[in-house]
Amino acid sequence: MVIKRDGRREEFDSRKLRDKLRLALTKRPVSQEEVDRIVATVERELLAMGTVEVPSTVIGEIVLRELKELDEVAYIRFASVYRRFADLEDLRREMEALGGRRSESVGS
């Protein structure tokens, strides 16, 4: 069971997650197998938690972590909706944080 931000509860729906991933990955060079892998990762991690209910924020953070490694454009698209960016400043900060992460990995 997923606890939504507004307190509603609904069954976890892997199709809904897959659709949201496809939307974030529109026109990106990412295969359906990668989308399926992310969905499977989310499902596996939710099962490993062993709880009956999970906040939607937990699912969102797993998806963001996976997208960050897979495709930065899709990550920003998903994050802009998930984190509810209020304006371009929020978007700029997220992109700068992403750029900083890339610089750190290049310097390693």
SS3 of residue 74 by DSSP: helix
Give the pLDDT of residue 60.
92
Name the residue ranges covered by the structural domains of the chain.
2-107
| Mean pLDDT confidence for 76-97 | 78
Give the pLDDT of residue 107.
44
pTM: 0.79
Model confidence pLDDT, tens digit, residues 39-85: 999 999 999 999 999 999 999 999 999 999 999 999 888 888 877 77
Residues 6+ apart with CB under 8 A from 28: 71, 73, 74
Residues 6+ apart with CB under 8 A from 63: 17, 20, 21, 38, 42, 78, 82
